[in-house]
Amino acid sequence: MTHRRVPAALSAPLSAPLSALTLALVLTACGQGTQPPTTADAPPSPAVIDEVTVVRAPAEATALPDPRRSALLQAESADAPAARARLGTAYVPQGQRLSAQTLPAGAQTNRVALKVLVLSSGEGDFGLPEARNMLGESGVPYDVFDASTQPLTMDALVREDGVGRYQGVILTSSALLMQPDSAGLVPSALDSAEWETLFEYERAYRVRQLALYGSPGTVPEDYGLRAVAGAETTTTSMKPTAAGRGVLSDLTGTVIPVRYAYTYPSAVTSVPGVSTTPLLTDPSGRVLGATSTSSDGRERLILTMAQNPALRHSQLLSYGLVGWLTRGVSLGEHRRFLQVDIDDWFLGGDHYNASTGQLYADPFRISGNDALAVRDQQGWIRSSFPVARNFRYAMAFNGGGARTDVATLCTTLFTGFAKDSLSSASKCLNDTFDWVNHTKDHLRMDVMDYATANSQLADNFVIGSRMGLNMSRNSLVTGEHSGLGNMDPTDDGTYNDSDVNLPKTDLGLERSNVNLLSAATNNGIRYLASDHSVKSHWDASCPTCGVPHPLNAGVFLVPRWPNGVAYHVTTPTEATAFFNSVYGPQGRFPYFPSNLTYTEFLDYESDVALNHVLDGGAFPHYMHQPNLREYSWGKSLASDWIRALLTKYSKYTTLPLSTLRWDDLGPYVERRTQEEKAKAAGLLTGVYDRASNTVTLQSAAPLPYTLTGGNSGTPYGAQRIQKGTVSGTLTVAVTPR
C-alpha cells in the first residue's frame, strides 16, 4: 500500500495570527489512524516497520497557543505590568466615609472562618491576578474587596455571630495605591479610619497580613524597612535567609531570579515597637521580603517586588506565602504534579526530515529496544530526582497497531528475532507504565456513528487485555482530542480515517459528538482528556479544575498541556530544526533573533513546563511515540525534556511531585473541581477555633473536603493534608504553624 503523503504540519492554517509577545509553539493534538481492521487482533497492512504491519498515525493538526504560554511571554517583557509597576509617593486620605470602628460586643476573637480577604485598589490593580492565582493554586477560599468603591466596615470583617470572616488578609500593594491625584501624589484606596478598622480586626482576631508588593516607608504603617534610594531595578535575584527558609519551607536556598518586575531593595531600620526579620535578600544583602511585628502585635509580611502569576519568583513563593498567611490551616491543598502522557503507542507516525523540512516517505515507529530504553530512562528519572520518586509515564495506546500473538521479550538481545519487537516488549512492560485507551485506530471522532465509536473503545480494551496491559479502565484519550467540539465546522464524517488536516474551530463542548460520549459511558469510561490550548476545554475561572461535560453528566474532562516537542521529531537535530523553522529568524513566525541550539530549546521549553507544574494543577503534558526514540544511549527527546524540567524544579524547591494513574487522576481532578465550586458558592465552609485547635466544617449536602493542617492527614511538604466527606457539621483537630 502506498502511504498518502500529508502536508507539512505547518501547512494547516492557524485560525489567528501570532504577535511577537504571544509567541507560542505549534501545539499539536494527535492525528488519526486508517480504516479499522476486520478483527480485534488483525491490524491492516500498510507499511512494514520493525517486522510488523502497523497502522500509521498521520499528520497532526496545528492549534493555537495555550493561554498560559502566552501569559508567560506577556509577563516576561519590559512592557509587562509588573515591570512598569512603579510606586509613587503614597498618602492616606483623612477618614471621611466613616469613623474607625470598634469590635462588636459579641466578638469571638478565637474563631475565624477559613477564608482570606483580598483587598484591591480597584480597576487596573496589577497585584490582583497574583493574589487570585496563589490562593486558587492552594484551593483557599477568598473574597475580593474593591476598596476604591466600597467602605471597609467592621461588619465586612466580623459576622453577626461574632466569628471573624477571614483568617488572613492580602494587600495587593502595601498601601493599596490608586491613580495619582492632580498633585502627582498617590492616594490609598482606604482612608485613615478604614485602615484603623482593618488593623483593629487583625489585632483582635490575630489575623496575619500579607502585602504582595510595596516600597517600604511609613504609609500606611511602618514595617521597619526603608527603600534604598537609587537601588530600584527590574532585574535582580533573591535568596532566602535562614528565617526565610523557615517561612518558605520548600525552597532549597538557591538564588531565585527576579526579572520583569519592578523592585525596591530595602534596608532594615530601627522603629520603636516594631520587630523586623528579613526573609529574602538580593546579592547586595538588601531586603526584598520580610516579616515584621507591629507595635500592637500584628504579624505582617511584605514583598518589595511586583508580582505576576507567570513570573518565576511569584510562583516559587506562592506555596510558602499561603502557608504563612493561613498558619498552615486552610481548606484545600497546594500539591504539585508531574504527569506525562505519550500518545500513539503501537502506531507508526509522521517523521520530520530536518534536511528538507518535509516528511520522510516512511512512517516512524519505535522499536522494542526503544520501548525497553524508556523503561530504563523512567527508572533513572526516579532515582536521580527525589522529588519525582513515583514518576510513571502514561502510554495512550492504539491496539490496532499491536500484535497479540507474539512472545514476551524483556531484553534487547532477542528483539531482532521478534515478529513485532514493540508488541513483545510491551507485554514485558505491562506493569511498568500506566496504559490508557487511545481508541483502537486513532480515527477522528468529531462526526462518527455510535457503533463505530463503541467498537473503537471496546476493541481497544480487548486488545489491551490480550496484551496483558495494566490499563486505566475509566479514562480515554481520543485521537486529536476529537469529538469534543474543536473541529472543522463543515465535517460530515466522510474523512474520519483521512490523513488530511482540516482547519479546526472551537465550536464549544455543545458541539461534541454525543455518540462518542454515549460510547464512552457504556464502556465504563468517565474521564476524557481535553486540550488545554482550546478555550472550551478548560475552566478559566478555576486554574486547577476540570470540566463536567454539559451534554453528558457521565463524562468529565481533564485538560492536558501541549508542548513544543513536535509530534513527528525523533532526535535533537529534528526537534530544533522544526522549532527554528517556525520561530527562528527565517521561520514562519520569526521571534528569536537567532536559531536555538538544542540546549537553548530545552531551556525555553522547560521554562514553560515549569510554570505549568508550579501552578499546582494535576494536568498532564502530552507527547507522542516518535519522541521516545533512543537517539543516543539512555536518551530520548521525552526523557531529555523531563530531565530539563526536573533539574530546574529541583534547583529551587523540595516539594514532591505526585504522579497519578489515570484511574486515580480523573477522580482527583473531579473531586477537586467539586470542592472548589462548592467553596466558591459558599456550600462548603470551615471555622478555625484557636482555643481548641479545631476546625468545624459545614455543608448542606454530602461533599468531599480537603483540609491542610489536619492532625490525621497525610504528610505532604511542611503540612498534613486530610481528606474526607462532610454532611452537616464535622469537627477536625488541627495543628497550626
Choose the final residue of a domain: 606, 629, 662.
662
Other C-beta atoms closer than 10 Å to the C-beta of 292 total 22
Burial 479-495, CB ≥16 within 10 A → b, else e: bbbbbbbbbbeeeeeee
The answer to whether residue 156 sits within a structural domain is: yes
Please indicate, yes or no, whether residues 261 and 281 belong to a single structural domain of this protein. yes
Choose the final residue of a domain: 662, 693, 711.
662
Q: How far is residue 45 from each of residues 36, 37, 38, measured CA to CA in Å?
A: 11, 9, 12
Q: Long-range contacts made by residues 5-8, C-beta under 8 angstroms, separation at least 24?
A: 5/359, 5/361, 6/58, 6/59, 6/350, 6/359, 6/499, 6/500, 6/501, 7/59, 7/501, 8/59, 8/357, 8/358, 8/359
Q: How confident is the model at residue 710, as a pLDDT?
A: 95
Q: How confident is the model at residue 269, as a pLDDT?
A: 96
Rounded Cα distance between 294 and 66, Å, is 44
The C-alpha cell at 564 is 513544543
Please indicate, yes or no, whether residues 249 and 267 belong to a single structural domain of this protein. yes
The answer to whether residue 319 sits within a structural domain is: no
Please indicate, yes or no, whether residues 294 and 152 belong to a single structural domain of this protein. yes
Please indicate, yes or no, whether residues 212 and 110 belong to a single structural domain of this protein. yes
Other C-beta atoms closer than 10 Å to the C-beta of 411 total 11
Q: Give me the residues of the chain with pLDDT under 70, please.
A: 1-86, 88, 97-100, 413-416, 499-501
Rounded Cα distance between 400 and 8, Å, is 25
Rounded Cα distance between 16 and 24, Å, is 12
Question: For 260-299, what is each residue's pLDDT tens digit?
Answer: 999 999 999 999 999 999 999 999 999 999 999 999 999 9
Backbone angles phi, psi at 653, to 5 degrees: -140, 150
Please indicate, yes or no, whether residues 643 and 694 belong to a single structural domain of this protein. no
734, 695 contact by CB (below 8 A): yes
Please indicate, yes or no, whether residues 236 and 348 belong to a single structural domain of this protein. no
- Look at the alpha carbons of 683, 670, 653, 267 in this order and tell me if their dihedral is positive or negative: negative
Please indicate, yes or no, whether residues 157 and 282 belong to a single structural domain of this protein. yes
Please indicate, yes or no, whether residues 165 and 194 belong to a single structural domain of this protein. yes
Other C-beta atoms closer than 10 Å to the C-beta of 645 total 26
Please indicate, yes or no, whether residues 36 and 177 belong to a single structural domain of this protein. no
Rounded Cα distance between 46 and 53, Å, is 7
Structural domain of 503: 9-73+336-662
The answer to whether residue 476 sits within a structural domain is: yes
Mean pLDDT of all residues belonging to the chain: 88
Please indicate, yes or no, whether residues 142 and 186 belong to a single structural domain of this protein. yes
Q: How confident is the model at residue 132, as a pLDDT?
A: 96
**Domain CATH for 207:** 3.40.50
The answer to whether residue 674 sits within a structural domain is: no
Nearest CA to 313 out of 238, 215, 210, 213 is that of: 238
The answer to whether residue 315 sits within a structural domain is: no
Would strands 266-268 and 225-227 be described as parallel, antiparallel, or unpaired? antiparallel
Nearest CA to 338 out of 612, 67, 103 is that of: 612
Q: Which helix (H) or strand (E) holds 679?
A: helix 662-680
* DSSP letter (8 states) at residue 455: H
Q: How far is residue 317 from each of residues 250, 431, 655, 704, measured CA to CA in Å?
A: 9, 37, 12, 28
Nearest CA to 463 out of 521, 401, 399 is that of: 399
DSSP string, 629-672: --SBTTB-HHHHHHHHHHHHHHHHB-PPEE---HHHHHHHHHHH
Q: How far is residue 275 from each of residues 256, 279, 574, 689, measured CA to CA in Å?
A: 26, 13, 58, 27
Q: How confident is the model at residue 61, as a pLDDT?
A: 43
Q: How confident is the model at residue 202, as a pLDDT?
A: 98
**Domain CATH for 62:** 3.20.20.370
Please indicate, yes or no, whether residues 648 and 705 belong to a single structural domain of this protein. no
The answer to whether residue 368 sits within a structural domain is: yes
CA angle 330, 256, 237 (to 5 degrees): 125
The amino acid present at 594, given as its one-letter code, is S
Burial 241-263, CB ≥16 within 10 A → b, else e: beebbbbbbbbeeeebebbbbbb
Q: How confident is the model at residue 75, as a pLDDT?
A: 61
Per the structure, how many domains does the chain have?
Answer: 3
Other C-beta atoms closer than 10 Å to the C-beta of 390 total 11
The answer to whether residue 615 sits within a structural domain is: yes
Q: How far is residue 534 from each of residues 429, 468, 485, 516, 531, measured CA to CA in Å?
A: 33, 34, 10, 19, 6
Please indicate, yes or no, whether residues 113 and 175 belong to a single structural domain of this protein. yes
The answer to whether residue 314 sits within a structural domain is: no
DSSP string, 561-578: B--SS-TT--SHHHHHHH
